[in-house]
Chain A
Amino acid sequence: MLGTLRKIADGLIGLSAFVGTLGLVFVTGVVLVDVIGRTFVSPLAGAQDYTQMGMVIIVFGGMALCDKLGGHVSVDIFERSFPPRFNHVLDVLAAILGAAIFVGIAYTVYDSSKLSQMLGLATNIVALPKWYFQWALSVMALITALGMILRAVELTLTGWDARAEKEIRE
Chain B
Amino acid sequence: MAILVDKNTRLLVQGITGREGEFHSRQMLAYGTQVVAGVTPGKGGQMACDGRVPVFDTVAEAVEETGANASIIYVPARFAADAILEAADAGLPLVVCITEGIPTLDMVRVRAYLDQRGTRLIGPNCPGLLSPGQAKVGIMPGHIAMPGPVGVVSRSGTLTYEVVYALTARGMGQTTCVGIGGDPIIGTTFVDVLEMFEDDPATEQVVLIGEIGGSDEERAAQFIAEKMTKPVVAFIAGRTAPPGKRMGHAGAIIQGGSGTAAEKIAAFEAVGVRVAEHPEQIAEIVAR
The answer to whether A and B belong to the same complex is no
Measured CB to CB, the residues of B under 8 A from A are none
Measured CB to CB, the residues of A under 8 A from B are none
